[in-house]
Amino acid sequence: MKKKIYVTRQLPESVLSKLRDQFEVDMWTKEDQPIPKDILLEKVKGVHGLLTMLTEQIDSEVFGKAKNLEVVANLAVGYDNIDLEAAKKYDVTVTNTPEVLNETTADLTFALLLATARRIPEGVDYIKENKWETWSPLLLAGSDVHHKTIGIVGMGNIGEAVAKRATGFEMNILYYNRSRKEKAEDRLGAKYVSFDYLLNESDFVVCMTPLTDETKGMFDAEAFSKMKNSAIFINTSRGGVVNEDDLYESLKTKDIHAAGLDVFRDEPIHRNHPLLELDNVMALPHIGSSSVETRIKMMELAVDNIERVLKGEKPKTPVK
Ligand SMILES: NC(=O)C1=CN([C@@H]2O[C@H](COP(=O)(O)OP(=O)(O)OC[C@H]3O[C@@H](n4cnc5c(N)ncnc54)[C@H](OP(=O)(O)O)[C@@H]3O)[C@@H](O)[C@H]2O)C=CC1
Ligand SMILES: O=CC(=O)O
């Protein structure tokens, strides 16, 4: 009998065909809607492999129902949606999709930084709303990026790719991690500093940490109060690292200058969320790794990981 795989979102057949040859594959057939939890709990019964999105909470309830489960392959590098303790308890391998998305996510992060600093969305709206009557000396004047100081919190795979882009703008690069990365310092000329120093000194504070118990809410009122009034905060990691009420207050009172956000505590962010009322917020719908090429690579990696585990081999990218 073939082993069974369940895929929690519609993915292209060109990617799944590799699995269909060897396994029985079933799939939630809506591309733009997450699978409801009650259906997921039914579908995982008897399944050996699960290919999940970051929109699903793979918790002890799911593991408890999936008695045959051997592998959960998450289509993301972040795995804060998966209960790793429960996975360990039920002896299930968890995999993610690191590295293949580094450059694409760094491109988006830098694009968000540039767009927020140079007020690009405002400029686009200005023309579309027919407001442009003449050139004027300070029309939509923004902040320079080149030669400024960027502070990267979470100098990991993507953080380093962001730093590489910053070198092209001749920026001064500061970073904060729990551990020092001397190789990155040599390669990128980045300087390892404390969290407080980074907040105090950076013109752009970029968050690239995973969401963990330690990082949850680390950008709070105290953190924002340490930033310059001219600082721009960029978050492409996870919304949970930010206390959004505190961020709103800091932006509203101009304690910090602006924010560019790709991720939110609750996604999709509610259209009436106070952050969206602010002119100094630029918001994107969690599209950091969203280029066609990279999303296909992520899917292929997730498929490869499932295939390997179900054939008794080591996956390429296990979550350790
Ligand atoms: N917006 C989007 O679409 C995307 C978002 N992401 C998010 O980006 C995150 C980072 O991805 P990636 O670069 O691949 O991950 P990495 O694991 O390569 O890097 C994470 C970095 O964060 C640091 N870090 C971890 N915990 C802390 C902490 N408590 N304080 C300070 N630094 C910390 C780590 O260093 P150390 O261990 O030394 O502290 C490490 O350098 C993902 O987890 C995901 O949430 C990723 C891709 C796309
Ligand atoms: O948010 C995306 C990820 O890969 O993590």
- Over its C-alpha atoms, the chain yields an Rg (Å, rounded) of 21
Active site residue 238: yes
Q: What is the pLDDT of residue 308?
A: 98
Instruction: Look at residues 165, 161, 162, 159 and name the one whose alpha carbon lies nearest to residue 179.
Output: 159
Instruction: Look at residues 57, 34, 45, 55 and name the one whose alpha carbon lies nearest to residue 6.
Output: 45
Spell out the per-residue pLDDT of the chain, length 320, in tens.
999 999 999 999 999 999 999 999 999 998 789 999 999 999 999 999 999 999 999 999 999 999 999 999 999 999 999 999 999 999 999 999 999 999 999 999 999 999 999 999 999 999 999 999 999 999 999 999 999 999 999 999 999 999 999 999 999 999 999 999 999 999 999 999 999 999 999 999 999 999 999 999 999 999 999 999 999 999 999 999 999 999 999 999 999 999 999 999 999 999 999 999 999 999 999 999 999 999 999 999 999 999 999 999 999 999 99
Which of 222, 267, 277, 313 is an active site residue? 267
Domain ranges of the chain: 4-99+292-310, 102-283
Active site residue 273: no
Residue of 99, 105, 267 with the most ligand 2 atoms within 8 Å of its CB, for mutation: 105
Q: What is the pLDDT of residue 31?
A: 78
Evaluate whether 4-99+292-310 and 102-283 have a shared fold: yes
Ligand 2 neighbour 98 (Cβ under 6 A): no
Give the number of the ligand closest to the Cα of residue 98.
1
Which of 9, 48, 119, 238 is an active site residue? 238
* CATH class of the domain at 102-283: alpha beta
Strands (DSSP E) contained in 17-106 are: 24-27, 49-52, 71-74, 93-95
CA 76 to ligand 2 centroid distance, Å? 4
Q: Does the pTM exceed 0.95?
A: yes
Instruction: Look at residues 235, 180, 232 and name the one whose alpha carbon lies nearest to residue 211.
Output: 235
Q: Please give the Cα distance from 49 to 64 (Å, whole number).
A: 14
Identify whether 268 is preceded by a cis peptide bond (ω within 30 of 0): yes
* CATH number of the 4-99+292-310 domain: 3.40.50.720
Question: Residue 35 corresponds to which tokens in the numbers above?
Answer: 């699978």
Q: What is the pLDDT of residue 30?
A: 86
Ligand 1 neighbour 240 (Cβ under 6 A): no
